[in-house]
Amino acid sequence: MLPVALLLLVGCFASRGLAAEQLTVRQSSPLDAVLTWSDSAGNPGGYIVEYINQPADAWVILDFSPPGRNTFTHPRLAPRTPYRYRVRPFFGPTSKPVAVTIAEGLSDQGYAEAYASPEDYSWAPPQRLAVPGDAVLARKSIRLPATAAGAAPGDLTAHVVKSTVSGFRLTWSDRSTDEEGFLLERLGDGRDFVVCAVVEPDINAFGWALEPPARQAKFRVRAYYYGPPSNVVSIVTGAEPDEAPPPPAAAKSSG
């Protein structure tokens, strides 16, 4: 299995005058929350869905929703627990996609057995590498329309790591000055790229691996920043479905 921890970050954003998304929540059952928000952020790359239980908690990432999808279900919640939610749009230019092919020449069984065996992924954590041309790039802002296209990550390349059955390192040229980080995005079953990892700013190399039976995939990297957060909505979950109701209060004697 791939032992690469996803480095999830919470970013902040100086508003460009965009209106915050309007978020609502309803409970489809005592332990399921359904979030819906307006989709009016001005052509975002997608939305990040976050939650906390208490106001002092750090926000936890639940999902990265692609543009055009404005609902998310948070299922099987803890009973009798408060939940608070918000969404934020994210923006930023992307690299050109790169195709990856691994495990060529292996049978399906051989691929699965090799993947299940221990492998060395010490090379895989996000890092800053000396990428050709990276040091002399004129880095630009991703937040200004006039410079955003030129600030997109460039020269994205996938390097298959032969000491693993399905691992590869992605490297790119960091052309931006003001990213909150980079998103690794993978082409899904449809036409949408789906966020699969978040790394810190100034990174330009990151390891990944495909899982059997997948042998081919397309990836891209986005230099991102967040838009303004939505309003915060709250619920308190109910009891477990099989939880016995509390006993009725005893009647008081009038004396």
pLDDT tens-digit map of 88-135: 999 999 999 999 999 999 999 999 999 999 999 999 999 999 866 566
Q: Give the C-alpha separation, 102 to 209, whole Å.
A: 9
Higher pLDDT pick, 144 / 132: 144
pLDDT in tens, 46-55: 999 999 999 9
Two tokens, residue 230: 């939505």
Q: Give the C-alpha separation, 37 to 230, whole Å.
A: 8
Q: Give the C-alpha separation, 160 to 184, whole Å.
A: 17
- The answer to whether residues 86 and 152 touch, using CB atoms and an 8 Å cutoff, is no
Q: Residue 148: what pLDDT?
A: 95
3-state helix, strand, coil in the chain (%, to 5): 5, 40, 55
Amino acid identity of residue 220, one-letter, is R
- Which residue, chain included where needed, has tokens 């006039």? 146
In the predicted structure, residue 6 carries a pLDDT above the cut 50: no
Regarding pTM above 0.85, the answer is no
